[in-house]
Structure 1
């Protein structure tokens, strides 16, 4: 048999239809939304290869969805082989043959099952003239892949590969059962809209899809233990081993694929078999009793209805595609606007950062200048202190010298007085005078003059001492004032350093917060405060 590589290069009369459907297949999915991307390219190859491979049926609308689901789980050659197996061995191809005769048999079986299990809903559909082909066509032809969420479709394909095409009846009845209350309240148009729009939206949540699959397996058309086993399968990759595929040569790829993945026989249940016989008998009676012209008219009317329905579905798909593209365009515009805003904020933040660095540099220069001013003031104060200390020491030395001088003068005067006294006492005449007259009485004038001179000298010394004490007090006062000024300058320096550091932290924190808001990154920690001695 031919493989995918040799089939997709051949010409196909359905290339235009395939190309149009490719762009409508999961347009919002990341793998398929890119025009000309890997997803659309692989999907085009598979659909075109099948149209060449199956010359009788060819490509049918909706097959692209099934092929896309397979592509999400396996390489394109494996996906093509699995698609061929589903179409041929699982009986999906039969639904397209003989003017969709087998598909109408499925519709009849579904309506009979609905009449048996949900009679009130069946009667409501009969009152509305709502037939199964009006809402269940895509269920059978695309295996629920065209409308329903992928999380639900994956479960359905798993069950299909394990149990065969009859699982569609289980899922269909589960959908009708869970939507019974809504459908009973709807009219004809409302019911069609419910099947087309609202029903698929219900199962976007994976939990809802899982519950639906459990309910489908509990319907007594399949053996419950088989369904439970199916639900435990990991994915649609069941029965396919990638290691086996890597060892298959290109020329016998499809033959080996069929050999390793042969499904177990699909045996219809008794009820489905019974309903199929009823439908065949009914069709035979209709063909025998019906006039050929009436039959052709009915077939024509049915085909027209099918064509209108397909056109409506086509319009819905086109509308969904346009809506998705518009939504994507809006999202892209919003993302671009947001990117522009973020770029502007980033530029502003960079400008703020530059301004902050300039401000930091300026403050550092001011700090350096203040440090230099403080250093000079301290040196000046130190010089004043040294000068004052030297003056004080000099004054103390002068005072000491004056005291020593005064003591020496007093001692010299006393010695001179003693010498004069001894000389006077040595003279006999003077001694007699002293003995007669008593103690020597110096002339009042000379004694007063001497006392006056001594008092003046003492006053002069006291005056100099007072002046020195006054200078010493002033020097001490200047020293105290200098110390106070130094303390005040130190205090101002500390306050300025605190203000500078606070300003640095404030600017830095604001800048980092702006960067964090704009770029979503964590801001670096603020720089450590400068040391006092710097």
Structure 2
């Protein structure tokens, strides 16, 4: 290791001066001697730490050996054992774990200071100054290197921080824009929600009125249908009674016709006319009169029966028409319910942007009344 020229203040970059080979050899020899003295000094100071641990770890070997064996152990076996790095490290750990009393430490410190002072007094001041100068130069170079490293690290950190700051500012701008858009959308959504609530309230009121109206119409229609059904049942009962009475009268007439000698010759048991075989004038006249009377009575009965059937058919048609109207009203009410709910739900979902609007449900076709 080369020495530098002593100077008061270290330069920024030191370059060792050019010296002769003899001087460099002398200085190198002095350095070697100095380091050797330091190593021996450390070993001399450490005998208080290492020797007790060496004796403790080698106790069994020393007790088994004689005096010559103990000397050989210290000279050959012990150095050979601690050439291995693991054993040397273990020895150092054991030596460092020894607890030395404070009084002994102060005593050792005092002895070391005394020895250093005596060495400094015996040492040449020129050598001491050179060594001190070399140490200061090394410290200066180390500090300059550390300063360069710190400056480079500072510049790198500033660049990284500036990049991070730019990214954070860009991100903050983007977030601010998104926040403004979100606030605007929120205001629009609240306004749309208010409008939808107003429309919903109006639709509810309209639906309530229509529902009340439809319910009242259904009640009226139901009452009318019940009345017509009652009328139809009465007409049916009346028709049945008239048919039974007509049948009885017809049987009576048939009985009388069959009982009459002249009539039995004109009509058969089924009520059909027979061609008369006699052509007398008096019989023909009586037969024509009776025939006309019977035909007139039969036409009256048929006319009354036809009127009764016509009334029954008209009542049934009216009932079917009312049932058809009732079914149409029910379908309209159901369609109004479905359409109102679907429109309200779709408008709310469209305003909030959660679901695309759907087509309203088509009303069901009205049921046809049973004939």
TM-score per shorter chain, which class? 0.3 to 0.5
Q: TM-score, normalised by structure 1?
A: 0.33
Higher helix fraction (1 or 2): 2
Larger relative CO (CA 8 A, sep 6+): 1 or 2? 2
Q: Which has the larger radius of gyration?
A: 2
Q: TM-score, normalised by structure 2?
A: 0.45
